[in-house]
Each structure stands twice: as C-alpha cells, then as structure tokens.
Structure 1
C-alpha cells in the first residue's frame, strides 16, 4: 500500500480522486491551504499546505512529504504543476514518485501561446491565435479553466494574453492515460454536457474515430506520461480543432475511470512498481456521468 498525496482537496471535484485512491487499495493523503476543507475528512491523512507565494514553499513541501511518509504525488493544481515537474528527479531520489509528464512538456502546455506554436509545428488542427488582438476570443496565456476568457470587441491590454479564433461546434474533453513509452493506453473522448467555473458537471463517452485518430497523433508528437486531459471542438463538417491540453489529472476524469478502470492503481503499478501495462479494458461507449452535491458531516469534538 502506498500513501498518495492529492492537491486542492477542497475543490468540488476532488472527492472522486480520494475515493479512487482508496478503492485502489492505497492510502489517500489530502492536502489544501484550508485546514477545514472537506477532503480532509474523506482521506486517511491530511497535509496543510503553505501558500504558493511562500518563499520557502518547496522546502516546506519536502519536509511535509517526509513527515507524512508520502510515497506518490498526483499533482492536480495548475499553480504548482511546473514546480512538481521541475523536481520529479529530485523527489524520485528521495523515494517520492511524482505522476506527471516531464518539465518541458508541462511548460509547453501550461502556456497557451506555446501550446498554439507546438500544435502548429506538429500539424495538429487548432484555431489561429496571436499575441496581438487580432481575434475575438481573448484569454490569459497562463490561465486556467474559464478564468479571464472572454470575447472582446474593444481594445484591451494584451500583456500576458493571447487572442484566438472562436472555435465552433461540439466541445469534447478527452481523458488519456499514457505509459512510460508515451503511447496512449486509454483514450476516452467525452462530450461535455455541462460546465461550471471551468469544471465539467456532466458528460457522455463518445468514441468518435476522428478525435481518437488525432489524439493518437498528438501522443506520437509529445512525450506525455500518466493522465492527460485534452480539449477540442468537433465542427458540423466533422473537422476537429484542439484548443488545450492539461498535463495532469482532471476533475472530469471520473467518467474516464468509470468507462475503463481505476487509473490510480494502473499508474502506481506501472510507474512506481515498474509493472508492464495490462491489456486495456474495453471503453464503455455511451456511458453518461451526472454530478451532484454531497455532504460531509463533522461531529463536534
């Protein structure tokens, strides 16, 4: 049994990840900057994290990992994602496995302008973009979710921003699990049936062959490892345009897990224990996910 750390355990989508860790037979270590976040009361252990602005952030994190005997980290917070990637080798030497793609991959896909350039260089279809305000959609280069994304008709300060063509069609999110050889073991496209604050509130698996073919080409172009989340639009003429890749586990991946198998156990066996990946399970096309609020009751001491 491994002790597995998850981040941002007060987010509305973190409960499934804690449950998946425990269902895979491992101990869940929740973490957050809020000492009373709900994830604390669902997990086996809890770490109160320093704020990202703390000048000793990583020194403190290293000490906390050691004090709580953490074996595996599954990064999920965009603010610290690159920091984890930069320290993968360092932590591995200290017995802590960080389930994440390498630094250059994370750096490329955290920056929406670098993502656009990488897509163009690899021949991946994507909306046109610019560092100038040439297109109607304006968004931060380093933004997350839907924060700061807007359609602008007036001139805006483009410092730290990009403009992009509006992508039309049906929005898809694709959950991908890549092995040590960077090849995709699972590709699970899902239509998003609802989004709130950038997070999926519902979805349905749709094994669209054109999307799957493009995802295979993307994975052949970039050395991803572990869980990766991609976003694209499918137009009425069946053309596909990719807009974003998150090189981390994502909130809506609960559906990807349910339609295949628990990716936590898969990742630990493969990346930590060094086992070969087993034959993939059939993906349950058409499986639908709906989300609801749930309560955690904390008795008075």
Structure 2
C-alpha cells in the first residue's frame, strides 16, 4: 500500500515526517515537475491540474500504483477530493479530509466568523466593509476572504489605509488588529467526530516572516476552546487553527486551515500521531482508547543541502 501526497511542491519536511511515522511508500504528486519532493519521496507523479483531472482517471492511477491513501495539502485539493470521498472509499482509496460542507465553512473567513458567532464561540469580528466597526481610530487587518498564507495580507492599517486598499483585492475581509500572543493549534478529530488530541504551538523566533523556532506549549484553556470549535464545525482528521490571546487574556479564534499546515510536523513529532491514527481508522479500527502522550518539543528550521 502507498500514500499519495497531492500538491507536494517543496514540502520536504512533511514528506520526511510521514516516512518517519508510518511504514508506507510515499508517492509525491504535483502539476509542476520542477520541485524538490521528488528527491525525497519513493515516487513522483506529475498530476494533471484539477480542472483537467477526471476522477475515473485518478482512480485508475491509484489502482495501478497500489495507492490506498490520499493526503491533500492545498485548499483546492481538499475541495476536489472531498467531493468524491465516498466514491473513492468504495474503490478502497481513503482521502484525508473533512466533508465538503465543513470545508466550505472553514475555508471562507466570513462564513467561519458567522458560524462561530452563532455558536457563541469567540471568533474575531470579520466583515466586508468598515461600516460594521464602531471606531474609525482603531487599527485593522485586511485578508482575502478565501485566501491562505500571507498573500494579500495587510496588517496594522489605519481607517484611511483600509479604504484605499479594499478596492485592490477581489474578495477582501476586514478584522480588528489584535495585540497579544499568537498561537497555532493542531487537532486530530476521529471519523466518529471525537477529538483525539490538540497541540498548541507558538513561534519563538520569526525571520523574514517565517518561523525559525517553534515550540510546543501548555495552554489547557485554549486547547479546550479549539476542541469545542472543531466539533462544532464537524471537522475530521488533522486540522489547524490560528488564535490570539489578547493583552487582557481573552482568547480569539482567527481562522481554521482544515488540513495539515506547514509547521504541523512539529505537533506530529510531539505526539499528535495523525498518520497512524488515520490509517488505523481507514482500516476500521477504533482509536478512542489509544494512548496519547504529548511532549514539549521545539522545532528549529534551517537550510540543508542534499548531495546526490
């Protein structure tokens, strides 16, 4: 049996993490043949663009190459493969994703805020125009409504700056600028919609916008909040949240990335045994009573050469 990682690009740390935690051959796939992962995986497939990929062709490829597990690593991949999740499972191919309905809420920052607000959960206020905010003297953040990462992310903006930037973004949302401690939380939700574990991590050293040192921290109050949120959203598998604790100690949920994130490997090494849990569940096992031990570890990111 093999595991296919889609849109693998240059996600070498993820490939190495999977290989260290499960005994499977890893096939990396990407539409671009010029990437790094092909040198670290057990095989590479130049997969067609999603718009050109027929699910029947995908099933045939998986069957031919004995692929039983599919790990989407990009938002559009999640939407595509979750749409065919039941069909793929009937063919013995398991996709690591939540339902399409849950993804539509989690991937849309405005829908995400509206949903959490309706459940009484502390989502950061999110709107599409400035009129919803009471004070014009506050500082603001602009993001893409459906974007991921730092593309079209503008921080610490004045009221006038927001007005000038809004027309330049296709589907912007506005949030208040919060000062305090930022956290990332990785969660594993089982197929029967129970949270197996949650791991909180924070960036200790950031250089050029990227985290160079990240560490696991104990934050029971935040863990509890995120577990409740993941269940409310009916998510499944490994998902990631961003949250803030402001200067008054209030917790704010910023957004949800319903997949494994770039630094989620730290949480996996710390004891969030995502891949073994998921594969066991795919094979009909109940993991509710499997032991969990989370270690307070630290991740250092640095450049490394591979000589062939």
Structure 1 and Structure 2 fold alike (TM over 0.5): yes
Q: Is 1:104 aligned to residue 114 of structure 2?
A: no
What is the deviation of 1:200? 4.1
In structure 2, relative to structure 1, the CA distance for the partners of 1:273 and 1:111 (3 Å cut) is same
What is the deviation of 1:176? 0.5
What is the deviation of 1:261? 5.0
Q: How many residues align?
A: 292
Partner SS, residue 274 of structure 1: coil
Q: Deviations over 1:136-168 (max 9, x none)?
A: 211111101111111441432264111111122
Give the aligned partner of residue 124 of structure 2: 127
Contact 1:49 1:61 in 2 (8 A): no
Q: Distance in 1 between matches of 2:301 and 2:269?
A: 13
Q: Is 1:215 aligned to residue 230 of structure 2?
A: no
Instruction: Compute the TM-score of the two structures, normalised by the length of structure 2.
Output: 0.87
What is the deviation of 1:266? 1.9
Give the aligned partner of residue 229 of structure 1: 240
Give the aligned partner of residue 213 of structure 2: 202
Instruction: Compute the TM-score of the two structures, normalised by the length of structure 1.
Output: 0.89
In structure 2, relative to structure 1, the CA distance for the partners of 1:43 and 1:143 (3 Å cut) is same
Q: Is 1:46 aligned to residue 44 of structure 2?
A: yes
What is the deviation of 1:22? 2.4
Q: Deviations over 1:39-83 (max 9, x none)?
A: 11111111102234x444655544433343311001111222211
Contact 1:199 1:251 in 2 (8 A): no
Matching residue within 19, 27, 30 for 1:29: 27
Q: Is 1:295 aligned to residue 294 of structure 2?
A: no
Q: Is 1:149 aligned to residue 191 of structure 2?
A: no
Deviating 4+ runs (over 3 angstroms): 54-64, 194-201
Unpaired runs of 5+ residues, structure 2, are: 134-139
Contact 2:8 2:73 in 1 (8 A): no
RMSD: 2.1
Contact 1:146 1:197 in 2 (8 A): no
Unpaired runs of 5+ residues, structure 1, are: none
Contact 1:32 1:48 in 2 (8 A): yes
Contact 1:50 1:57 in 2 (8 A): no
Q: Distance in 2 between matches of 1:48 and 1:222?
A: 34
Moved more, 132-141 or 36-45: 132-141
Contact 1:7 1:75 in 2 (8 A): yes
Partner SS, residue 299 of structure 2: strand
Q: Distance in 1 between matches of 2:272 and 2:238?
A: 13
In structure 2, relative to structure 1, the CA distance for the partners of 1:18 and 1:115 (3 Å cut) is same
Q: Distance in 1 between matches of 2:205 and 2:97?
A: 27
